């Protein structure tokens, strides 16, 4: 592959502002460890931070990768390196590719090969359409059956439902599984235990039953839903999306700040939720699952800054995401950001529920809150608003905070907050 001309570099820029910024950087001073092969160009550019930005470019594809937080492709660093390479002022040919450039190129090659294999083995479109038609018919029947069950539940009353044996709930869940609605099945199965374990079981069952009824109505109107609404509905009923489809979408570069993480185990399946905030403030959650006897992914440290690319599932914010490259720790932050009050958090939760009424939990960052003893314990802010604490060790929270106001990140769920991390004496710790 011959060297590009400067005109070709400029033609690849997303806008004129990027060209102007790249020209200022297109000088040897800020650059180090540059090199090129017939396919790759790479180098490190010293920015305002301690660590230089790592730039990798596939000049054949073309494709670009930079560790800076810019959302532009190519960013000003990639354009500046291409300008230097085009002029012959940097990125001499014949060098061995740097580790980060070689790794990036290898991952792209693997994804391309996987896509080619999928394309080569794609099923007959007619057969695929027939399978989808059959599945939708099965799901329609399952939803109709579930709607009748919900009407019976409302007619006989919540108190009667609490007297039912666990098998009553489990049989309903089994029918939902047969109808390929595993997400709803899991919720019904859990309710069989929660109606006996929770003090607020009546309110909880009423809320869930209302959501389930709304799901049956939304399913019948699915052709009228927008892409994000339909994606949220699919996630609720358990219609999974292949990871390969998510990875094929655009990946967002880091750095990503780990806000907190939580693990749960229901005896059959382990789940790990990792909440991240991107360079532009977007919050996403990475979900990992493992069956009993298997090992979950290594948890990320709260407060850690990760240099990694992330792909997002379709849906409303905060969206589910997955890591699409190697996770490279960049450092540790001493803060999680500027937290708000409880009233602001509840208002944000209400707005999120308006967009997606199926969501069970919402991320929340609270500033200046105190941990108060009680059963189950409370978080109180400066305005006097309070939220009950869900899970965790109240004794540990009291010991960590010492009664002082702190910054806490957690999950809002059913009017309660589950603390996941907090900032104590300039250090992010796990709650």
Digit-coded pLDDT (tens) for 52-73? 999 999 888 788 999 888 878 8
Tell me the per-residue pLDDT of 352-361, one tens digit each, with 9 for 90 and over.
Answer: 888 888 888 8
pLDDT > 80? residue 344: yes
* Gap between the Cα atoms of 274 and 409, Å rounded: 12
pLDDT > 90? residue 174: yes
pLDDT > 70? residue 320: yes
* Gap between the Cα atoms of 367 and 380, Å rounded: 10
Q: What is the pLDDT of residue 25?
A: 93
3-state secondary structure of 13: coil
Computed over every residue of the chain, the mean pLDDT equals 88
pLDDT > 60? residue 219: yes
pLDDT > 60? residue 1: no
- What's the whole-number mean pLDDT along residues 108-123? 69
Residue spans of beta strands (DSSP E) within 2-116: 31-36, 40-45, 53-58, 63-66
Q: What is the pLDDT of residue 108?
A: 81
pLDDT > 60? residue 122: no
**Would you state the structure tokens that stand for residue 96, as one six-digit string?**
């061995």
* Gap between the Cα atoms of 387 and 342, Å rounded: 8
- What's the whole-number mean pLDDT along residues 341-349? 92
Is residue 413 within 8 A of residue 390, CB to CB? The reply is yes
CA 66 vs CA 73, 74, 101, 330: distances in Å? 9, 8, 10, 14
The model's confidence at residue 188, banded by pLDDT at 50, 70 and 90, is: very high
Is residue 9 within 8 A of residue 82, CB to CB? The reply is yes
Q: What is the pLDDT of residue 117?
A: 65
* Gap between the Cα atoms of 336 and 100, Å rounded: 28
Residues 6+ apart with CB under 8 A from 111: 247, 248
The model's confidence at residue 388, banded by pLDDT at 50, 70 and 90, is: very high
**Would you state the structure tokens that stand for residue 9, as one six-digit string?**
């570099």
**Closest C-alpha to 66, from 50, 52, 55, 79:** 55
* Gap between the Cα atoms of 170 and 186, Å rounded: 9
3-state secondary structure of 117: helix
The model's confidence at residue 119, banded by pLDDT at 50, 70 and 90, is: low
Cis ω before 337 (30° cut-off from 0): no
* Gap between the Cα atoms of 117 and 55, Å rounded: 29
pLDDT > 90? residue 232: yes
> What are the residue ranges spanned by the domains of the chain?
6-120, 125-237, 250-332, 342-430
For 375-399, letters b (16+ CB in 10 Å) and e give eebbbbbeeebbbebbbbebeebee
The model's confidence at residue 106, banded by pLDDT at 50, 70 and 90, is: confident
The model's confidence at residue 415, banded by pLDDT at 50, 70 and 90, is: confident
CA torsion 26-32-37-40 (nearest 10°) is -70
CA torsion 160-164-168-170 (nearest 10°) is 110
Q: In the β-sheet with 427-430, what is the strand arrangement from edge to edge?
A: 386-388, 378-380, 361-372, 406-413, 416-424, 427-430
The pLDDT > 90 percentage for the chain reads 52
pLDDT > 90? residue 121: no
**Residue whose entry in the numeric block shows the structure tokens 């409303």:** 316
* Gap between the Cα atoms of 232 and 314, Å rounded: 8
**Residue whose entry in the numeric block shows the structure tokens 């949220």:** 232
Q: Which fold has domain 342-430?
A: OB fold (Dihydrolipoamide Acetyltransferase, E2P) (2.40.50)
**Closest C-alpha to 63, from 87, 96, 40, 89:** 40
- What's the whole-number mean pLDDT along residues 170-179? 93
3-state secondary structure of 264: strand
116/30: higher pLDDT: 30
Residues 6+ apart with CB under 8 A from 162: 195, 196, 201, 205
- Whole-prediction pTM: 0.69
**Residue whose entry in the numeric block shows the structure tokens 């500027």:** 338
């Amino acid at each position: 592959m011959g060297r590009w001309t400067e005109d070709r570099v400029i033609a690849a820029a997303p806008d004129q502002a990027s060209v102007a910024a790249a020209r200022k950087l297109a000088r040897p001073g800020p650059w180090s460890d540059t090199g090129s092969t017939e396919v790759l160009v790479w180098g490190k550019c010293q920015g305002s931070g301690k660590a230089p930005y790592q730039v990798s470019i596939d000049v054949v594809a073309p494709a670009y990768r930079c560790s800076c937080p810019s959302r532009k492709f190519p960013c000003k660093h990639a354009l500046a390196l291409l300008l230097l390479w085009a002029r012959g002022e940097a990125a001499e040919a014949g060098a061995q590719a740097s580790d980060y450039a070689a790794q990036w190129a290898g991952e792209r090659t693997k994804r391309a090969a996987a896509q080619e294999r999928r394309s080569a083995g794609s099923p007959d479109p007619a057969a695929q359409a027939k399978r989808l038609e059959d599945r939708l018919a099965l799901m329609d029947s399952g939803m109709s059956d579930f709607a009748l069950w919900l009407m019976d539940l409302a007619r006989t009353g919540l108190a009667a439902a609490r007297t039912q044996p666990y098998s009553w709930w489990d049989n309903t869940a089994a029918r939902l599984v047969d109808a390929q609605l595993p997400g709803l099945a899991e919720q019904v199965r859990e309710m069989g235990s929660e109606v006996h374990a929770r003090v607020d079981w009546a309110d909880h069952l009423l809320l869930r039953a209302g959501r389930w009824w709304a799901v049956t109505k939304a399913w019948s109107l699915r052709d009228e839903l927008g892409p994000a609404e339909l994606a949220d509905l699919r996630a609720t009923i358990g219609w999974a999306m292949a990871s390969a489809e998510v990875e094929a979408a655009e990946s967002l570069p880091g750095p990503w700040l780990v806000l907190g993480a939580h693990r749960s185990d229901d005896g059959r399946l382990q789940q790990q939720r990792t909440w991240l905030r991107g360079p532009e403030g977007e919050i996403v959650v990475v979900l990992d699952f493992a069956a009993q006897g298997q090992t979950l992914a290594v948890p990320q440290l709260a407060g850690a800054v990760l240099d990694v690319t992330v792909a997002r599932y379709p849906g409303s914010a905060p969206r589910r995401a997955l890591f699409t490259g190697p996770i490279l720790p960049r450092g540790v932050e001493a803060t999680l950001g500027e937290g708000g009050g409880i009233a602001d958090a509840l208002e944000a939760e209400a707005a999120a529920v308006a967009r997606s009424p199926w969501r069970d939990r919402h991320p929340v960052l609270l500033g200046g809150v105190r941990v108060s003893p009680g059963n189950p314990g409370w978080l109180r802010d400066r305005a006097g608003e309070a939220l009950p604490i869900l899970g965790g060790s109240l004794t540990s929270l009291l010991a960590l905070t010492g009664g002082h106001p702190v910054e806490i990140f957690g999950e809002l769920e059913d009017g309660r907050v589950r603390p996941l991390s907090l900032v104590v004496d300039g250090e992010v710790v796990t709650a």
